[in-house]
Amino acid sequence: MKAESGHIIFKDKFKWKDLADSFEEILKVFLDETDQMPDEEEILQMFMRINMMDIEKNRKPEGYNRRGRFRLVFPLTPGKKQFYIRADSKTAETVRITERLSKMLKKAGVPHTIEYDLLKTIQQ
């Protein structure tokens, strides 16, 4: 299966601070899997800190929305908390990375579902 976007949609009672224990590992795995890991440790720590400050205050984090083949996006979607991985084209990597991050969230006890290619629905 190939997809342009892989969406991890959290259950109704989810709070952003539920990601506190798993987000740093999720971001590292995302950056590593997409070959976007910063060369300097200080830059990685800056991305971590920016996101963790929001998560600790139960706010939507920024994610990783820089130029590159893949992005980790936390959209503003009314009534639905989620994040998605977006590739610049349909690829099997999107599915593989989404499923890997989903396994990490399941292990951390964060209930969610996965869907693919929902960007047209979000942008309406």
Percentage of the chain modeled with pLDDT above 90: 86
27-51: pLDDT as tens digits: 999 999 999 999 999 999 999 999 9
Amino acid found at 81: K
Segment 57-84 mean pLDDT: 92
Cβ neighbours, 10 Å, residue 4: 17
Pick the CATH number of 3-122 from 3.30.310, 3.30.530, 1.20.120, 3.40.5: 3.30.310
Considering the entire predicted model, what is its pTM? 0.91
Q: DSSP secondary structure string, 29-76?
A: HHHHHTT---SSHHHHHHHHHHHHHHHHTT----EE-SSSSEEEE---
